[in-house]
Chain A
Amino acid sequence: MPLELTIDYDRGVPVYRQIYDAITAALASGALRRDEQLPTIHDLADRLAINPNTVARAYRELDQAGYIVSLRGRGTFPSDQRPAAADKQGALRSIYDRAVAEAAKHGIGAPELVRYFKKVTP
Chain B
Amino acid sequence: MTVFEAIVALTKASWRMLQRHRRLVWFPILEMVATLLALLVIVPLLGVTDDEIPWTHLLAIGAALEVVRTFFAVALTSQALEALRGREPSIGAGLGAAVARLPTVFMLALVTGPVGFVLGVLGRSSRLAMRFARRVFGTAWALVTYLAIPVMVQERRGCIPSLKRSGELFRNTWGETALSEVGVRVVGAQLAIAIIVIAVVLIRVLGESLFTALVLLAVAACLIGIVVALEAIYRAALYVFAAEGVVPEPFGGPELEDIWQVK
Q: Which of B193-247 contact A (CB under 8 A)?
A: 240, 243-247
- Given A14-B243, A45-B85: A51 in contact with B168 (beta carbons within 8 A): no
Which residues in A have their C-beta under 8 angstroms from that of B252? Answer: 53
Q: Which of A9, A50, A52, A57 has the most CB of B within 10 A?
A: A9
Query: Are B154 and A54 interface neighbours, CB within 8 A?
Result: no
Chain A interface, DSSP helix/strand/loop, else mixed: helix
Q: Which of A42, A49, A53 contacts B248 (CB 8 A)?
A: A53
Query: Are B165 and A51 interface neighbours, CB within 8 A?
Result: no
Q: Which residue of A lies closest to B263 (CB)?
A: A14
Q: Which of A14, A49, A52 contacts B245 (CB 8 A)?
A: A14
Interchain residue pairs A-B with the least CB separation, the first 5: A14-B245, A15-B244, A54-B244, A53-B246, A16-B245
Q: Is A122 on the interface with B (CB-CB < 8 A)?
A: no
- Given A51-B84, A51-B240, A52-B86: A57 in contact with B165 (beta carbons within 8 A): no
CA of A15 to CA of B241 in the docked complex: distance in angstroms?
A: 10
Which residues in A have their C-beta under 8 angstroms from that of B245? Answer: 14-17, 54, 57
Q: Is B249 on the interface with A (CB-CB < 8 A)?
A: yes
Q: Which residue of A lies closest to B172 (CB)?
A: A14
Can you list 13 A-B contacts (CB < 8 A)?
A12-B168, A14-B244, A14-B263, A15-B244, A15-B245, A16-B244, A49-B154, A50-B85, A51-B240, A51-B248, A53-B244, A56-B246, A57-B246
- Given A14-B263, A49-B154: A54 in contact with B240 (beta carbons within 8 A): yes
Which residues in A have their C-beta under 8 angstroms from that of B240? Answer: 51, 53-54
Q: Is B88 on the interface with A (CB-CB < 8 A)?
A: no
Q: Which residue of A lies closest to B154 (CB)?
A: A49
CA of A49 to CA of B249 in the docked complex: distance in angstroms?
A: 16
Query: Are B165 and A9 interface neighbours, CB within 8 A?
Result: yes
Question: What's the nearest-Cβ distance from chain A to residue B212, in Å?
Answer: 44
Question: What's the nearest-Cβ distance from chain A to residue B234, in Å?
Answer: 15
CA of A12 to CA of B86 in the docked complex: distance in angstroms?
A: 26
Q: Which of A16-49 contact B (CB under 8 A)?
A: 16-17, 42, 45, 49
Q: Is B155 on the interface with A (CB-CB < 8 A)?
A: yes
Query: Are B155 and A54 interface neighbours, CB within 8 A?
Result: no
Query: Are B86 and A50 interface neighbours, CB within 8 A?
Result: no
Query: Are A9 and B155 interface neighbours, CB within 8 A?
Result: yes
Query: Are B168 and A54 interface neighbours, CB within 8 A?
Result: no
Q: Mark A79-110, 1 if CB is under 8 A from B, else 0.
A: 00000000000000000000000000000000
Query: Are B263 and A53 interface neighbours, CB within 8 A?
Result: no
Which residues in A have their C-beta under 8 angstroms from that of B246? Answer: 16, 51, 53-54, 56-57
CA of A15 to CA of B165 in the docked complex: distance in angstroms?
A: 15
CA of A51 to CA of B155 in the docked complex: distance in angstroms?
A: 13
Q: Which of A12, A42, A49, A53 contacts B247 (CB 8 A)?
A: A53
Question: What's the nearest-Cβ distance from chain B to residue A32, in Å?
Answer: 22
Q: Mark A1-21, 1 if CB is under 8 A from B, else 0.
A: 000000001001011110000
CA of A37 to CA of B141 in the docked complex: distance in angstroms?
A: 47
Q: Which residue of A lies closest to B168 (CB)?
A: A12
CA of A39 to CA of B243 in the docked complex: distance in angstroms?
A: 22
Q: Which residue of B lies closest to A20 (CB)?
A: B245
CA of A56 to CA of B244 in the docked complex: distance in angstroms?
A: 11
Which residues in B have their C-beta under 8 angstroms from that of A49? Answer: 154
Which residues in B have their C-beta under 8 angstroms from that of A42? Answer: 86
Question: What's the nearest-Cβ distance from chain B to residue A102, in Å?
Answer: 19
Which residues in A have their C-beta under 8 angstroms from that of B154? Answer: 49
Q: Which of A15, A51, A57 contacts B85 (CB 8 A)?
A: A51
